[in-house]
Amino acid sequence: MKFASKLAATALVAVSLMFTGCGEGQVGCVDKSKVMTDSPRAKTATEEAKAEVDKILAAFDEKYPNQSEMSEEDAAKAQLELQRDLQKVQQKFSAQLESRFTVVVAEVANEKNIDVVIENSADQKLLHHGGIDITADVIKKMQ
C-alpha cells in the first residue's frame, strides 16, 4: 500500500513538472501530522473536542446512572449510542481541520509560487531530496 502511494506521488510530481515547462516547476512538501499537532487551530480544536467529549460523557453518566445494573442488551445499546456520539464529534473537528489545512496549503503554495505540494511526514517520506518545506509556514497560518 505504501509503495503504491509513493509511486502515485512520484508519478504526480513527474507529470506536473512536465506540464510546467521542463522541470521549472517548484515542488513543496508539508508534514501534515506536525501541522495537525502543532498549529494553533489544531490545539484549539483539540481543546474544543475534549470539552464536547466531556459533555457527552457527563450526559451519558446522567442518562445511565446505574450502568452496572443494566441488562447486557441495554448496556450494549447505550455503549453503541455513546460511540456514535463520540464519533460525530471526532468527524466534525477532523473535517474542520482538514478543510482549513487544504486552504492554508493552497495559500502558502501560491505565495511561494509552488506548483505541487506533497505530504511528506516524518514516518512516510515521499520526497527525500529537494523540495521546499512549507510546514512551518502552514503551522503559522493555521489560526
CB 45 within 8 A of CB 93: yes
| 6 pLDDT more than 70 | no
| 114 pLDDT more than 90 | yes
Which pTM value belongs to this model? 0.70
| 21 pLDDT more than 70 | no
How many angstroms separate the CA atoms of 80 and 59, rounded?
15
- pLDDT of 47 reads 95
CB pairs under 8 A, 24+ apart, for 58-67? 60/85
Return the CATH fold of 2-141.
Answer: Protein Binding, DinI Protein; Chain A (3.30.910)
* Burial (CB count within 10 angstroms: exposed 0-12, middle 13-18, buried 19+), residue 89: middle
| CA nearest to 117, candidates 129, 132, 130 | 132
At 51-91, the pLDDT tens digits run 999 999 999 999 888 888 888 898 899 999 999 999 999 99
Q: Give the CA distances from residue 58 to residues 25, 49, 105, 141, in Å, rounded to whole numbers and listed in that order.
A: 53, 14, 37, 35
Residue extents of the structural domains in the chain: 2-141
